C-alpha cells in the first residue's frame, strides 16, 4: 500500500485567524437550514443589480475575439486612461495613466499584495483597528508585524499618530488608512490627510489609502480623495473598487493610483502572480467609470432611505450610534450585558437578523455591531421591528 504524505500547513497559514466573513457565512447557512426567515445585514454585498448599461457593454465585449487572449498585466491603457479622467473630473487630481494607475482584480487583491512588494520580514505595518481584516493578514503573509492603531470614538475614529511609539516607527515601512471607513463609517478630511502626509514623509512610511467607499455618501457631502491633499503622491497610493460604487462585487475589478514607484512595485508582484483582468471586464469597467451621476445618485438615495430607517429605528430603541455620512454601514454599541458576539447570536436566534460582531474587525471593535444597508427599505423596517421584539 502506498503511503500518503503528511499535509502540513505553512506557519503563516496556521497563524491565520478565522476569516470573519467566512464565519459569518457559516452562521447564515446554519440559520437558513433551520428555516429562519433571515434578514441579512452582515456582509457589505450590494443587493442592487449592476446598472444595465454596464452589463450590456460586457455582453458586447465578450463577443469580441480580441478579448479572448491574455490581457496586459498592468491593465488596458484605455481602462487606466478612464481612471485618470475620472480622477480629474471627480477630485481635480491629475494622474499619468501609464505610470500612476494600475488595474486590480478588485481592491482586495491589491491590498493583499502591496506588503509583498515593500515589506521585509520583521518590518512593521501600521494597521487601523477595527478595520478590514485583509490589512493584518496581508502583513502576515509578507512576514511583517502589524502595529495596531486603535480607532476610537473620542478621536472620531482617526488613528492617533502621536501615540505610535518611536521604537515602532523605526521599523515601520507601510501604513493602511481607510476613509470613508469600514466598519465605523467615519470620514476623514483635508486636515487629517495633511497630518498623515507630514507623518509619512518624516518617518519614510508608504501610505496605502483604501477608498472603496468614496462614492457612497449622503446629503450631498462628497468625501475627498487622499490624493487631493498636497504632497499625497509623494508618500502614497489610493485603492479603489468598482464593487460598491457600481454594484459590481462579483466582477472583480478595481485599481490603484498615486505614487509611481509604489505602483511599479505592486505591478511587479502582479506580473509574477496573476495574468491581469479579463479585457471584457475592463471594457465594462470603462463603461462603469463613465456612468452618469444621475444613475449613481439614485443608488445613493436608495441607501440613504435605508440608512434613515435603520438609524432612527435603532436610536429610538436606545442604541448609541452616529449617523453615517458615507459607506452603507451603521456602527452601533451593543446593549449593556452583551459582548459583540453574544449580541449577534441573540439577534440571529431571536429576531432572525444577522449583523457582524465588531470584534471581528479587531479587538478595539469589541462592544459594537456593524449593520449593512443591503436589504430593501421594507425589510429594513421589518428588521427594526424584529430587533425591538428581541430586546
Encode 93-119: b = buried (16+ Cβ within 10 Å), e = exposed: bebebeebbbbbbbbbbbbbbbbbbbb
% residues pLDDT > 90 (the chain): 91
Domain limits, the chain: 11-49+294-390, 52-289
At residue 298, does pLDDT exceed 90? yes
* Mean pLDDT, residues 121-131: 98
Provide the whole-model pTM: 0.96
* Mean pLDDT, residues 306-321: 98
Cα angle 321, 322, 327; round to 5? 115
* Mean pLDDT, residues 141-159: 97
* Mean pLDDT, residues 245-267: 98
According to the model, what pLDDT value does residue 17 have? 78
Rounded Cα gap, residues 133 and 67, in angstroms: 34
Task: Using pLDDT thresholds of 50, 70 and 90, give the confidence band for residue 173.
Answer: very high
3.40.50.2020, 3.40.640.10, 3.30.465.10, 1.10.490.10: which CATH number matches 52-289?
3.40.640.10
The CATH class for the domain spanning 11-49+294-390 reads alpha beta
Amino acid at each position: 500500500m502506498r503511503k500518503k504524505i503528511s499535509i502540513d500547513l505553512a506557519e503563516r497559514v496556521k497563524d491565520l485567524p478565522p476569516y470573519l466573513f467566512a464565519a459569518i457565512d457559516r452562521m447564515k447557512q446554519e440559520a437558513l437550514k433551520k428555516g429562519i426567515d433571515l434578514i441579512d445585514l452582515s456582509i457589505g454585498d450590494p443587493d442592487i443589480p449592476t446598472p444595465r448599461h454596464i452589463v450590456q457593454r460586457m455582453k458586447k465585449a465578450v463577443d469580441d475575439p480580441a478579448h479572448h487572449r491574455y490581457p496586459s498585466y498592468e491593465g488596458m491603457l484605455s481602462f487606466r486612461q478612464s481612471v485618470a479622467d475620472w480622477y480629474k473630473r471627480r477630485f481635480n487630481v491629475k494622474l499619468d495613466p501609464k505610470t500612476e494607475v494600475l488595474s486590480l482584480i478588485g481592491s482586495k487583491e491589491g491590498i493583499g499584495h502591496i506588503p509583498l512588494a515593500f515589506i521585509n520580514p520583521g518590518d512593521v505595518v501600521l494597521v487601523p483597528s477595527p478595520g478590514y481584516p485583509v490589512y493584518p493578514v496581508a502583513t502576515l503573509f509578507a512576514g511583517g508585524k502589524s502595529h495596531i492603531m486603535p480607532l476610537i470614538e473620542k478621536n472620531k475614529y482617526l488613528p492617533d499618530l502621536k501615540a505610535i511609539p518611536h521604537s515602532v516607527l523605526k521599523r515601520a515601512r507601510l501604513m493602511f488608512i481607510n476613509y470613508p471607513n469600514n466598519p465605523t463609517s467615519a470620514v476623514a478630511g483635508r486636515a487629517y490627510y495633511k497630518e498623515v502626509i507630514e507623518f509619512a514623509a518624516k518617518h519614510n512610511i508608504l501610505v496605502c489609502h483604501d477608498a472603496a467607499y468614496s462614492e457612497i455618501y449622503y446629503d450631498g457631502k462628497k468625501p475627498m480623495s487622499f490624493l487631493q491633499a498636497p504632497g499625497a503622491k509623494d508618500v502614497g497610493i489610493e485603492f479603489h473598487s468598482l464593487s460598491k460604487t457600481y454594484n459590481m462585487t462579483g466582477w472583480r475589478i478595481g485599481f490603484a493610483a498615486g505614487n509611481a514607484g509604489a505602483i511599479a512595485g505592486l505591478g511587479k508582484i502582479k506580473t509574477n502572480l496573476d495574468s491581469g483582468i479579463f479585457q471584457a471586464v475592463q471594457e465594462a469597467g470603462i463603461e462603469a467609470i463613465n456612468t452618469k451621476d444621475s444613475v449613481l445618485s439614485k443608488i445613493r438615495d436608495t441607501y440613504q432611505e435605508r440608512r434613515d430607517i435603520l438609524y432612527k429605528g435603532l436610536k429610538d430603541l436606545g442604541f448609541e450610534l452616529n449617523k453615517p455620512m458615507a459607506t452603507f454601514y451603521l456602527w452601533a454599541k451593543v446593549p449593556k450585558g452583551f459582548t459583540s458576539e453574544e449580541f449577534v447570536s441573540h439577534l440571529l436566534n431571536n429576531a432572525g437578523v444577522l449583523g457582524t460582531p465588531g470584534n471581528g474587525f479587531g479587538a478595539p471593535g469589541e462592544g459594537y455591531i456593524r449593520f449593512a444597508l443591503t436589504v430593501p427599505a421594507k425589510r429594513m423596517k421589518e428588521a427594526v421591528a424584529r430587533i425591538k421584539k428581541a430586546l
